[in-house]
């Protein structure tokens, strides 16, 4: 079924997959919208990321969205956001169900405070590096590491990092015969935070 263009607000109150009741919009980005939802049977709060309807018609974008679910579900690491489910709305829009995080992105914190102390900066760097190390050990390159994708969980006095958004990640060694989602000279990511080899399309 071809996806129907549905305003994000129209999903509020709906139950997706007979399990997840959409409560409110949390954030919106280029790939889609993130909502807070509740599992109707378990009464557990979750985050639901619904892909934008116009992107669901783009085969490459759809494949990246599906791959994000597959990749994160394989990374069992305390500093990588957990994916709990993957399905499609009745309107034909794919969605991810993830753990609901309370806190702020590093980007929001830096916007407010401009700079961090050495101690917090080191703890954030070490935890983010730990998540990246686990991803690299699994043969996965994030390709969009930036403050907006480093989430600082509200954990009282403890600083705890979660790495988000593997939507444009790439397996370091593509399986032979697997479909490539990025052309030789395609550039994906945020220019200000790209590694040099990524910026020149390698």
* pLDDT per residue as tens digits for the range 2-36: 555 567 788 999 999 999 999 999 988 777 899 99
31: tokens are 């790939």
pLDDT for 175: 42
CB 188, CB 64: distance < 8 Å:
no
CB 59, CB 66: distance < 8 Å:
no
Strand pairing of 150-155 and 103-105?
Answer: antiparallel
Which DSSP string do the residues of 84-126 spell out, in sequence order? EEEEE-TTS-EEEEEEPP-EEEHHHHHHHHS---HHHHHHHHH
Classify residue 156 by its DSSP letter.
Answer: T
* pLDDT per residue as tens digits for the range 40-97: 999 999 999 998 877 777 787 787 777 777 777 888 899 999 989 999 998 888 899 9
Rounded mean pLDDT, 110-127: 93
Q: In the predicted model, is pLDDT for residue 155 greater than 60? A: yes
186 is annotated as an active-site residue: no
Which DSSP string do the residues of 175-198 spell out, in sequence order? PTTPPPSS-TT---S-GGG--HHH
Q: In the predicted model, is pLDDT for residue 150 greater than 90? A: yes
Tell me the backbone φ, ψ of residue 107, rounded to 5 degrees: -60, -45
From the list 144, 154, 186, 192, the catalytic residue is 144
Task: Please indicate whether residue 175 or residue 135 has the higher confidence score (pLDDT).
Answer: 135
pLDDT for 158: 87
The fraction of the chain above a pLDDT of 90, given in percent, is 43
pLDDT for 39: 97
How far apart, in whole angstroms, are the C-alpha atoms of residue 152 and residue 111?
Answer: 14
């Amino acid at each position: 079924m071809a996806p129907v263009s549905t305003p994000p607000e129209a999903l509020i109150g709906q139950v997706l997959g007979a399990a997840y009741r959409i409560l409110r919009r949390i954030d919106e980005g280029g790939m889609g919208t993130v909502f807070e939802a509740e599992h109707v049977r378990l009464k557990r709060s979750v985050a639901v990321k619904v892909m934008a309807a116009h992107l669901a018609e783009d085969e490459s974008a759809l494949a990246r969205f599906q791959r994000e679910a597959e990749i994160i579900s394989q990374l069992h690491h305390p500093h990588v956001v957990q994916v709990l489910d993957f399905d499609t709305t009745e309107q034909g829009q794919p969605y991810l169900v993830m753990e609901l995080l309370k806190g702020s992105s590093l980007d929001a914190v830096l916007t407010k405070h401009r700079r961090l102390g050495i101690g917090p900066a080191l703890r954030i760097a070490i935890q983010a590096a730990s998540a990246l190390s686990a991803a690299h050990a699994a043969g996965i390159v994030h390709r969009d590491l930036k403050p907006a994708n480093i989430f600082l969980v509200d954990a009282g006095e403890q600083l705890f990092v979660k790495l988000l958004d593997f939507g444009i990640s790439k397996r370091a060694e593509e399986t032979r015969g697997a479909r490539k989602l990025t052309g030789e000279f395609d550039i994906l990511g945020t220019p200000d935070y790209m590694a040099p080899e990524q910026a020149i399309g390698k």
